[in-house]
Amino acid sequence: MDYELFAYAIVVALMAIYVYNNERRMGEMFCKLDQTAQLQQILHFFETKFAEIAEKTNTKLLEAENRHKLTTDQLQKNTDDITNLTQLQQQTLDSLDKKMADIGKKNEIKLQDTENRNNLTTSRLQKQLNEMTELAQLQQQTLDSLDKKMADIEKKNEMKLQDTENRNSLTISHLQKQLNDMKKLGPSIVTFLALLISPTYGSIAVQATVKFQKTIENIGSGYNTETGIFTAPTKGLYQFTASARQSHNGFLHLGLFRNNEQMSVSVAANSISLTIGATFTLQSGDRVCVKNVWDKPSGIVGVGQTYFSGSLVHKM
Protein backbone atom coordinates (compact mmCIF):
# COMPACT_ATOMS: atom_id res chain seq x y z
CA MET A 1 0.00 0.00 0.00
CA ASP A 2 2.83 2.47 0.81
CA TYR A 3 4.49 1.60 -2.52
CA GLU A 4 1.38 2.41 -4.40
CA LEU A 5 0.93 5.74 -2.67
CA PHE A 6 4.57 6.61 -3.23
CA ALA A 7 4.27 5.72 -6.92
CA TYR A 8 1.15 7.84 -7.26
CA ALA A 9 2.90 10.69 -5.47
CA ILE A 10 5.87 10.47 -7.86
CA VAL A 11 3.55 10.44 -10.84
CA VAL A 12 1.65 13.43 -9.53
CA ALA A 13 4.91 15.29 -8.85
CA LEU A 14 6.24 14.51 -12.34
CA MET A 15 2.97 15.60 -13.85
CA ALA A 16 3.04 18.78 -11.83
CA ILE A 17 6.65 19.50 -12.95
CA TYR A 18 5.73 18.71 -16.50
CA VAL A 19 2.66 20.89 -16.35
CA TYR A 20 4.71 23.70 -14.81
CA ASN A 21 7.39 23.46 -17.52
CA ASN A 22 4.78 23.33 -20.24
CA GLU A 23 2.95 26.25 -18.75
CA ARG A 24 6.23 28.22 -18.52
CA ARG A 25 7.14 27.37 -22.12
CA MET A 26 3.66 28.20 -23.26
CA GLY A 27 3.84 31.47 -21.33
CA GLU A 28 7.10 32.36 -23.09
CA MET A 29 5.55 31.44 -26.40
CA PHE A 30 2.50 33.52 -25.59
CA CYS A 31 4.69 36.53 -24.78
CA LYS A 32 6.67 36.19 -28.02
CA LEU A 33 3.74 35.73 -30.40
CA ASP A 34 1.29 38.08 -28.75
CA GLN A 35 -1.50 35.60 -29.54
CA THR A 36 -3.25 36.21 -26.26
CA ALA A 37 -6.76 35.11 -27.12
CA GLN A 38 -5.70 31.88 -28.90
CA LEU A 39 -3.17 30.89 -26.23
CA GLN A 40 -5.67 31.52 -23.47
CA GLN A 41 -8.05 29.12 -25.15
CA ILE A 42 -5.29 26.49 -25.46
CA LEU A 43 -4.21 27.09 -21.88
CA HIS A 44 -7.78 26.73 -20.72
CA PHE A 45 -8.07 23.49 -22.66
CA PHE A 46 -4.97 22.01 -21.04
CA GLU A 47 -5.91 23.30 -17.64
CA THR A 48 -9.25 21.60 -18.05
CA LYS A 49 -7.57 18.36 -19.16
CA PHE A 50 -5.01 18.52 -16.38
CA ALA A 51 -7.77 19.23 -13.90
CA GLU A 52 -9.64 16.23 -15.18
CA ILE A 53 -6.47 14.11 -14.93
CA ALA A 54 -5.76 15.40 -11.46
CA GLU A 55 -9.36 14.73 -10.47
CA LYS A 56 -9.21 11.21 -11.87
CA THR A 57 -5.88 10.58 -10.11
CA ASN A 58 -7.22 11.88 -6.83
CA THR A 59 -10.30 9.76 -7.31
CA LYS A 60 -8.19 6.68 -7.92
CA LEU A 61 -5.99 7.42 -4.95
CA LEU A 62 -9.05 7.81 -2.79
CA GLU A 63 -10.43 4.57 -4.16
CA ALA A 64 -7.08 2.90 -3.44
CA GLU A 65 -7.05 4.16 0.06
CA ASN A 66 -10.65 3.17 0.62
CA ARG A 67 -10.56 -0.23 -0.92
CA HIS A 68 -6.94 -1.26 -0.18
CA LYS A 69 -7.56 -4.06 -2.62
CA LEU A 70 -5.82 -2.86 -5.75
CA THR A 71 -3.68 -5.56 -7.29
CA THR A 72 -0.30 -5.17 -8.86
CA ASP A 73 -1.77 -5.71 -12.29
CA GLN A 74 -4.31 -2.97 -11.71
CA LEU A 75 -1.55 -0.66 -10.43
CA GLN A 76 0.57 -1.50 -13.45
CA LYS A 77 -2.40 -0.88 -15.68
CA ASN A 78 -2.98 2.46 -14.03
CA THR A 79 0.71 3.25 -14.37
CA ASP A 80 0.59 2.28 -18.05
CA ASP A 81 -2.49 4.44 -18.47
CA ILE A 82 -0.70 7.35 -16.88
CA THR A 83 2.37 6.70 -19.03
CA ASN A 84 0.24 6.56 -22.15
CA LEU A 85 -1.53 9.71 -21.08
CA THR A 86 1.83 11.37 -20.44
CA GLN A 87 3.07 10.32 -23.87
CA LEU A 88 -0.14 11.64 -25.38
CA GLN A 89 0.35 14.87 -23.56
CA GLN A 90 3.95 15.03 -24.76
CA GLN A 91 2.86 14.41 -28.32
CA THR A 92 0.18 17.05 -27.92
CA LEU A 93 2.74 19.46 -26.52
CA ASP A 94 5.19 18.66 -29.34
CA SER A 95 2.43 19.30 -31.84
CA LEU A 96 1.59 22.52 -30.06
CA ASP A 97 5.29 23.47 -30.03
CA LYS A 98 5.42 22.90 -33.80
CA LYS A 99 2.25 24.86 -34.35
CA MET A 100 3.49 27.61 -32.08
CA ALA A 101 6.80 27.62 -33.95
CA ASP A 102 4.93 27.88 -37.25
CA ILE A 103 2.79 30.69 -35.83
CA GLY A 104 5.92 32.43 -34.49
CA LYS A 105 7.62 32.09 -37.88
CA LYS A 106 4.55 33.49 -39.63
CA ASN A 107 4.37 36.31 -37.12
CA GLU A 108 8.05 37.05 -37.60
CA ILE A 109 7.48 37.15 -41.38
CA LYS A 110 4.50 39.44 -40.89
CA LEU A 111 6.50 41.56 -38.46
CA GLN A 112 9.38 41.78 -40.93
CA ASP A 113 6.97 42.69 -43.70
CA THR A 114 5.40 45.35 -41.47
CA GLU A 115 8.83 46.69 -40.58
CA ASN A 116 9.76 46.80 -44.28
CA ARG A 117 6.54 48.64 -45.05
CA ASN A 118 7.17 50.99 -42.17
CA ASN A 119 10.70 51.56 -43.43
CA LEU A 120 9.35 52.33 -46.91
CA THR A 121 6.71 54.60 -45.44
CA THR A 122 9.28 56.27 -43.22
CA SER A 123 11.63 56.73 -46.18
CA ARG A 124 8.80 58.16 -48.25
CA LEU A 125 7.75 60.46 -45.44
CA GLN A 126 11.35 61.52 -44.91
CA LYS A 127 11.68 62.26 -48.63
CA GLN A 128 8.47 64.28 -48.58
CA LEU A 129 9.66 66.07 -45.46
CA ASN A 130 12.98 66.88 -47.13
CA GLU A 131 11.17 68.15 -50.21
CA MET A 132 8.87 70.29 -48.07
CA THR A 133 11.90 71.60 -46.15
CA GLU A 134 13.63 72.50 -49.41
CA LEU A 135 10.44 74.16 -50.66
CA ALA A 136 10.13 76.13 -47.43
CA GLN A 137 13.77 77.20 -47.70
CA LEU A 138 13.20 78.25 -51.30
CA GLN A 139 10.09 80.20 -50.29
CA GLN A 140 12.03 81.85 -47.48
CA GLN A 141 14.81 82.78 -49.89
CA THR A 142 12.22 84.19 -52.27
CA LEU A 143 10.61 86.19 -49.47
CA ASP A 144 14.01 87.45 -48.35
CA SER A 145 14.79 88.47 -51.92
CA LEU A 146 11.43 90.22 -52.23
CA ASP A 147 11.97 91.97 -48.89
CA LYS A 148 15.36 93.16 -50.08
CA LYS A 149 13.94 94.37 -53.39
CA MET A 150 11.09 96.13 -51.60
CA ALA A 151 13.57 97.75 -49.23
CA ASP A 152 15.67 98.89 -52.20
CA ILE A 153 12.56 100.25 -53.94
CA GLU A 154 11.44 102.04 -50.79
CA LYS A 155 14.93 103.48 -50.35
CA LYS A 156 14.99 104.66 -53.97
CA ASN A 157 11.49 106.11 -53.61
CA GLU A 158 12.51 107.88 -50.43
CA MET A 159 15.56 109.27 -52.19
CA LYS A 160 13.43 110.37 -55.16
CA LEU A 161 10.86 111.87 -52.82
CA GLN A 162 13.56 113.67 -50.88
CA ASP A 163 15.09 114.90 -54.13
CA THR A 164 11.65 116.03 -55.32
CA GLU A 165 11.01 117.76 -52.02
CA ASN A 166 14.40 119.45 -52.23
CA ARG A 167 13.67 120.57 -55.78
CA ASN A 168 10.23 121.75 -54.79
CA SER A 169 11.72 123.59 -51.85
CA LEU A 170 14.26 125.21 -54.14
CA THR A 171 11.53 126.02 -56.66
CA ILE A 172 9.24 127.43 -53.97
CA SER A 173 12.12 129.38 -52.49
CA HIS A 174 13.04 130.67 -55.92
CA LEU A 175 9.43 131.62 -56.70
CA GLN A 176 9.07 133.25 -53.31
CA LYS A 177 12.25 135.21 -53.94
CA GLN A 178 10.99 136.28 -57.36
CA LEU A 179 7.66 137.27 -55.83
CA ASN A 180 9.41 139.25 -53.11
CA ASP A 181 11.64 140.86 -55.71
CA MET A 182 8.59 141.73 -57.80
CA LYS A 183 6.92 143.17 -54.75
CA LYS A 184 10.02 145.19 -54.05
CA LEU A 185 10.27 146.28 -57.65
CA GLY A 186 6.55 146.91 -57.92
CA PRO A 187 4.27 146.28 -60.89
CA SER A 188 5.59 146.76 -64.39
CA ILE A 189 2.31 148.31 -65.63
CA VAL A 190 0.80 151.25 -63.73
CA THR A 191 -2.01 153.42 -65.09
CA PHE A 192 -5.17 155.10 -63.84
CA LEU A 193 -8.05 157.30 -65.03
CA ALA A 194 -10.41 158.97 -62.51
CA LEU A 195 -13.47 161.18 -63.12
CA LEU A 196 -14.94 163.96 -60.98
CA ILE A 197 -18.65 163.25 -60.41
CA SER A 198 -19.58 165.90 -57.84
CA PRO A 199 -20.10 168.72 -57.42
CA THR A 200 -22.09 169.02 -60.64
CA TYR A 201 -21.55 172.76 -60.63
CA GLY A 202 -19.66 173.80 -57.58
CA SER A 203 -16.31 174.94 -56.22
CA ILE A 204 -13.09 173.69 -54.72
CA ALA A 205 -11.93 175.15 -51.44
CA VAL A 206 -8.67 177.07 -51.14
CA GLN A 207 -5.62 174.74 -51.35
CA ALA A 208 -7.96 171.73 -51.35
CA THR A 209 -7.15 168.50 -53.17
CA VAL A 210 -9.57 167.60 -55.95
CA LYS A 211 -11.07 164.16 -55.21
CA PHE A 212 -11.95 162.33 -58.41
CA GLN A 213 -14.55 159.86 -57.16
CA LYS A 214 -14.89 157.36 -60.01
CA THR A 215 -12.01 155.25 -61.42
CA ILE A 216 -12.22 153.94 -64.98
CA GLU A 217 -8.80 152.26 -64.76
CA ASN A 218 -6.58 151.71 -61.76
CA ILE A 219 -3.94 149.13 -62.72
CA GLY A 220 -1.39 148.89 -59.94
CA SER A 221 -3.92 150.23 -57.42
CA GLY A 222 -2.04 153.50 -57.11
CA TYR A 223 -4.97 155.95 -57.09
CA ASN A 224 -7.16 156.40 -53.98
CA THR A 225 -10.68 157.80 -54.59
CA GLU A 226 -11.08 158.67 -50.89
CA THR A 227 -8.11 161.02 -50.80
CA GLY A 228 -7.73 161.94 -54.49
CA ILE A 229 -4.00 161.08 -54.23
CA PHE A 230 -1.98 158.75 -56.48
CA THR A 231 0.84 156.86 -54.70
CA ALA A 232 3.63 155.45 -56.89
CA PRO A 233 3.87 151.66 -56.38
CA THR A 234 7.29 151.52 -58.04
CA LYS A 235 10.14 153.76 -59.05
CA GLY A 236 9.97 155.10 -62.60
CA LEU A 237 9.16 157.81 -65.11
CA TYR A 238 5.47 158.81 -65.04
CA GLN A 239 3.26 160.98 -67.22
CA PHE A 240 0.22 162.78 -65.72
CA THR A 241 -2.64 164.77 -67.28
CA ALA A 242 -5.58 166.62 -65.70
CA SER A 243 -8.43 168.44 -67.45
CA ALA A 244 -11.14 170.50 -65.74
CA ARG A 245 -13.97 172.90 -66.76
CA GLN A 246 -14.63 176.16 -65.01
CA SER A 247 -18.24 176.30 -63.76
CA HIS A 248 -19.23 180.04 -63.92
CA ASN A 249 -17.85 183.53 -64.08
CA GLY A 250 -14.54 183.70 -62.29
CA PHE A 251 -11.41 181.57 -62.40
CA LEU A 252 -10.37 177.90 -62.06
CA HIS A 253 -6.74 177.75 -60.98
CA LEU A 254 -5.37 174.14 -60.60
CA GLY A 255 -1.87 172.82 -59.96
CA LEU A 256 -0.24 169.34 -60.33
CA PHE A 257 1.82 168.41 -57.26
CA ARG A 258 4.50 165.77 -56.55
CA ASN A 259 4.42 165.39 -52.79
CA ASN A 260 4.40 169.09 -51.79
CA GLU A 261 6.18 170.29 -54.93
CA GLN A 262 4.13 172.01 -57.67
CA MET A 263 5.09 170.47 -61.02
CA SER A 264 2.67 172.38 -63.35
CA VAL A 265 -0.27 174.81 -63.21
CA SER A 266 -3.12 176.04 -65.44
CA VAL A 267 -5.93 178.59 -65.30
CA ALA A 268 -9.41 178.72 -66.91
CA ALA A 269 -12.26 181.26 -66.80
CA ASN A 270 -15.79 181.78 -68.04
CA SER A 271 -16.78 178.08 -68.34
CA ILE A 272 -13.66 177.28 -70.34
CA SER A 273 -11.75 174.01 -69.77
CA LEU A 274 -8.09 173.80 -68.76
CA THR A 275 -5.53 171.08 -69.14
CA ILE A 276 -2.37 170.50 -67.14
CA GLY A 277 0.20 167.82 -67.67
CA ALA A 278 3.76 166.85 -66.86
CA THR A 279 6.21 163.94 -67.07
CA PHE A 280 8.56 163.37 -64.14
CA THR A 281 10.19 160.62 -62.06
CA LEU A 282 8.77 159.20 -58.89
CA GLN A 283 10.26 157.09 -56.14
CA SER A 284 8.20 154.24 -54.77
CA GLY A 285 5.79 155.86 -52.30
CA ASP A 286 5.83 159.39 -53.83
CA ARG A 287 2.40 161.05 -54.02
CA VAL A 288 0.79 163.03 -56.86
CA CYS A 289 -2.46 165.04 -56.72
CA VAL A 290 -4.36 167.99 -58.22
CA LYS A 291 -5.02 171.03 -55.95
CA ASN A 292 -6.72 174.45 -56.09
CA VAL A 293 -3.79 176.85 -55.99
CA TRP A 294 -5.86 180.08 -56.02
CA ASP A 295 -6.37 182.02 -52.81
CA LYS A 296 -10.12 181.78 -53.34
CA PRO A 297 -12.49 178.91 -53.99
CA SER A 298 -12.40 177.86 -57.64
CA GLY A 299 -15.54 176.97 -59.60
CA ILE A 300 -15.50 173.54 -61.22
CA VAL A 301 -17.85 171.25 -63.18
CA GLY A 302 -18.20 167.56 -62.32
CA VAL A 303 -20.46 164.94 -63.97
CA GLY A 304 -17.48 163.39 -65.74
CA GLN A 305 -16.30 166.61 -67.48
CA THR A 306 -13.22 166.81 -65.24
CA TYR A 307 -10.66 163.99 -65.05
CA PHE A 308 -7.20 163.03 -63.74
CA SER A 309 -4.98 160.32 -65.31
CA GLY A 310 -1.45 159.02 -65.07
CA SER A 311 0.75 156.15 -66.37
CA LEU A 312 4.15 154.58 -65.78
CA VAL A 313 6.19 155.37 -68.86
CA HIS A 314 9.43 153.64 -67.90
CA LYS A 315 10.22 151.52 -64.88
CA MET A 316 13.55 152.36 -63.27
* CA dihedral (162, 167, 168, 174) positive or negative: positive
Q: Is the pLDDT of residue 35 over 70?
A: no
Q: What does the pLDDT read at residue 216?
A: 96
Other C-beta atoms within 10 Å of 270: how many?
A: 10
CATH class belonging to 191-315: mainly beta
Domain boundaries, the chain: 1-185, 191-315
Q: What does the pLDDT read at residue 230?
A: 98
pLDDT band at 33 (very low <50, low <70, confident <90, very high): low
Beta carbons of 221 and 233 less than 8 angstroms apart:
yes
Distance between CA atoms of 127 and 120, rounded to whole angstroms? 10
Give per-residue pLDDT as tens, 231-267: 999 999 999 999 999 987 678 999 999 999 999 999 9
pLDDT band at 181 (very low <50, low <70, confident <90, very high): low
Name 276's bridge partners.
242
Range 133-160 average pLDDT: 84
Residues 6+ apart with CB under 8 A from 65: 5
Distance between CA atoms of 26 and 22, rounded to whole angstroms? 6
Q: What does the pLDDT read at residue 64?
A: 66
Q: What does the pLDDT read at residue 43?
A: 66
Q: Is the pLDDT of residue 70 over 60?
A: no
Instruction: Look at residue 257 and give its three-state secondary structure.
Output: strand
Q: Is the pLDDT of residue 308 over 60?
A: yes
Give per-residue pLDDT as tens, 272-284: 999 999 999 999 9
* CA dihedral (99, 101, 106, 111) positive or negative: positive
Residues 6+ apart with CB under 8 A from 292: 204, 205, 206, 207, 208, 210, 253, 254, 255, 298
Q: Computed over its alpha carbons, how large is the radius of gyration of the chain?
A: 71
Distances (CA, A) of 95 to 8, 37, 89, 91, 184: 27, 19, 10, 6, 128
Give per-residue pLDDT as tens, 161-177: 888 788 877 777 777 77
Whether the full predicted model's pTM is greater than 0.85, yes or no, is: no
